[in-house]
Structure 1
Amino acid sequence: MQHQSSHDEPNVDPKLTSRLILLLCTVLIFTVMNGTMFNVAIPDIAEHFNLLPSQVSWVMTGYILVFSIGSLMYGKLADIYPIKNILTFGLIMFASGATLGLVAPNYPTLLAARIIQAMGGATIPALAFIIPARFIPGERGRVFGIISSTVAFASGVGPIAGGVIGGVLSWRFLFIFSMLAVLAIPFLRRWIPDEEKRPGVVDVPGAVFIASTVAGLLVFITTGMWWATILFAVGLVLFIWRTMTAEHPFIKPSLLKNKRYAVTVATSFMGTSVLFGMIFIIPIMLRDLNELNTLAIGLVLFPGAMAAGLIGQAGGRLVDRKGSVPVVKLALILVAAGTLCISTFAGYNPVVIAACLLITYLGFPLIQSSTANLLSTIVSKKETGVGIGLFNLLNFMSAAIGSAVYGRILDMESAAILFNPFARQGENVIYTNLFLSLSIIALLALTLFTRKFKEEPLPRD
């Protein structure tokens, strides 16, 4: 049984809401962990196929590239086609790629398997944020909070699970998690409301041009290949031209000119780049300064990831009660405080670092849920899919960009000047300065967001 809203939009049956949210979060865990688990398996894959680091890196680079672009494409498709059909296609592709990866006899087949996985897996985060906005409007904030905390939890647990599974069994067994996701299809098809195809067209040239732009930027950032800058520049020029001249462009100029939308997306981009930058730097720092092994590093990360997983529902209810704007500010304050804490105590006992991580991790689900909820009130219903899709794309790009930039900074191995006056001098200086920069980015995001929404306040969500 499906319920109709005041706008004749189908809503999820209240009796099935909890089941649907649980199932979505379970599938989302498989998808997010699929990305992070393979980080720790890269050395084993390189050894198995006798690959150079630059070759094996495409196991992650290719996945991130297709996954990021797909999150935008599926968001656009969700504005036209029924969500349950898109999810069915995505989960079949995701499981098919995993099956191929499990038995891949050589590296090209493994790479193809990862690309197929990404093509399907991108539907999950893309639509997980659209489903609450479209079908569960009365509990939108709470559901966004649960989904965001699931992403944070899976991001933290993924490397631990990857290390245990890869170490005890083999990296091939990491694909089994993705294969299980196909079991969710019959339940999703039963619990997600039926929809009619909406009027609209997909601007294929515009989609190709923006995909080329994103691909060029990500390839250059992650690999440094010079030709990627040409692909980026040409794609960007053609996308702008197509957007200004097409009758039905892939992304309408009105969305890009919406200042509140632009500031909210920019805020999320900056906040997410800080959080993923932290997740990237922390394992390197703990191994370098504290000489911890992979399991010990995972145990330092685990309390924060678990706390992020537990706070989601409470954070979502806070959004529903207080509105999105104050929760965005709270999230950025927590992120800035946590990274400043890590900057100050870099090189101290890992227990101290774990406590600092706990503060930062608490900001993760809050910033994702509050900005996603805010976007659902800013963007028109006809553009919810592409609006949230672009939001997801930029969040994934922020993770890739942050990892590449901070990785190159860490290649310098040391720094002479200590910028944090509260930190001690020593081998920790480069890490202290990096985390101080992350804190500054969070504060800049807070300033940008506060100024915009002070000028143009929103009614309570």
Structure 2
Amino acid sequence: MFHWYYFAGAVVFFGGLWIRIHKIEIPFIQPSLIRDKGYRQILYMSFLGFVTHFAILIVMPLMLQHVFGKNPTAVGFIIFPGAMLSAVAAIFVGRLIDRYGNIRVMFLAHILLIVSTVLFYLLSPHSEYMIMLAYMFTSFGFSSLSSSSTNEVSRVMSRELTASGIGMKQLIHYVGSASGSVLGGIIVEMGGADFPISSFQNTFLVLIGLMTGSLLLLLLYRRHVHQS
């Protein structure tokens, strides 16, 4: 809705939170976590990954309904393969992490998510089956990023900060999920009430940019790890 007082309220509450975590002895959000550059980069990547995934989840059914005229049952069947792949992916992602390490799996996840958003942008207007295919890339990439980044936090954080670090990351997941849904809805709505194809493509174009930015963050994070 773009009302300024929501933003002003968020700034006030954030300021209150910052004061609070510096005053009590053992806050849930440790200030030392926020000051850790590598940890912040993992949080940024997690946030962008969740934004991308949940923006696609909100936009995909709308596109199937308004562009291809699919009913809710058909929409569910088109999304179903990607959802099943996400459930099965957990087994393989764990094995990949054990074999190749967190950072390589995070690279794989970013490539899959970028490929999926490019497929959505280029091919989704032509066929609903392209949407099914693109979401399978999204699903596997998202599972890979979520698992490998959480595992990386447990690897790089000190024992005293691991629980707090993973908890903070989970909070970022919730914020990213909500932000992605809002972002996807806003961009589609900006295209007009008739939901033209261009409004969906604009959403996917923004997501391509977000995941490209996240990949750059991963490159910076890898350099930071090597230097430290």
Alignment check: 8 A CA contact 1:332 1:446 kept? yes
The equivalent position to 1:429 in structure 2, one of 157, 175, 198, is 198
Aligned-partner residue type, residue 308 of structure 1: S
Name the counterpart of 2:161: 383
Q: CA deviation at 1:348?
A: 1.5
The equivalent position to 2:76 in structure 1, one of 287, 298, 312, is 298
Q: Does 1:397 find its partner at 2:166?
A: no
Name the counterpart of 2:216: 447
Structure 1 residues 111-260: aligned runs within 5 Å: 227-260=5-38
Q: CA deviation at 1:334?
A: 0.1
Cα deviations by residue, 1:290-345 (Å, 9 ceiling, x for unpaired): 00010111111111111121121111111011110010011011001011101101
Partners of 2:89 and 2:95 lie apart in 1 by 10
Alignment check: 8 A CA contact 1:275 1:360 kept? yes
Cα deviations by residue, 1:102-160 (Å, 9 ceiling, x for unpaired): xxxxxxxxxxxxxxxxxxxxxxxxxxxxxxxxxxxxxxxxxxxxxxxxxxxxxxxxxxx
- In structure 2, relative to structure 1, the CA distance for the partners of 1:324 and 1:458 (3 Å cut) is farther
Report which of the two structures shows the higher radius of gyration computed on alpha carbons. 1
- In structure 2, relative to structure 1, the CA distance for the partners of 1:455 and 1:252 (3 Å cut) is closer
Aligned-partner residue type, residue 219 of structure 2: T
Structure 2 unaligned residues grouped into runs of 5+: none
TM-score when normalising by structure 1: 0.47
Aligned-partner residue type, residue 202 of structure 2: N
- In structure 2, relative to structure 1, the CA distance for the partners of 1:370 and 1:257 (3 Å cut) is same
Partners of 1:456 and 1:376 lie apart in 2 by 14
Alignment check: 8 A CA contact 1:410 1:430 kept? yes
Aligned-partner residue type, residue 293 of structure 1: N
Q: CA deviation at 1:410?
A: 1.7
Partners of 1:248 and 1:353 lie apart in 2 by 47
Aligned-partner residue type, residue 388 of structure 1: I
The sequence identity of aligned pairs, in percent, is 29
Larger RCO: Structure 1 or Structure 2 (Cα < 8 Å, ≥ 6 residues apart)? Answer: 2
Alignment check: 8 A CA contact 2:191 2:198 kept? no
Q: CA deviation at 1:255?
A: 1.2
SS of structure 1 residue aligned to 2:26: coil
Partners of 1:440 and 1:225 lie apart in 2 by 26
Q: CA deviation at 1:388?
A: 0.9
Q: CA deviation at 1:245?
A: 3.8
The alignment of Structure 1 onto Structure 2 pairs a total of residues equal to: 227
RMSD: 2.2
Aligned-partner residue type, residue 435 of structure 1: F
- In structure 2, relative to structure 1, the CA distance for the partners of 1:228 and 1:366 (3 Å cut) is same
SS of structure 1 residue aligned to 2:70: coil
SS of structure 1 residue aligned to 2:126: coil
Structure 1 residues 345-360: aligned runs within 5 Å: 345-360=123-138
Partners of 1:413 and 1:256 lie apart in 2 by 37
Alignment check: 8 A CA contact 1:346 1:431 kept? no
Alignment check: 8 A CA contact 1:333 1:443 kept? no
SS of structure 1 residue aligned to 2:160: helix
Partners of 2:134 and 2:7 lie apart in 1 by 38
Cα deviations by residue, 1:20-71 (Å, 9 ceiling, x for unpaired): xxxxxxxxxxxxxxxxxxxxxxxxxxxxxxxxxxxxxxxxxxxxxxxxxxxx
Q: CA deviation at 1:230?
A: 4.0
TM-score when normalising by structure 2: 0.91
Q: CA deviation at 1:247?
A: 3.5
Partners of 2:29 and 2:190 lie apart in 1 by 40
Partners of 2:154 and 2:34 lie apart in 1 by 15
Structure 1 unaligned residues grouped into runs of 5+: 1-222, 415-425
Higher helix share: 2
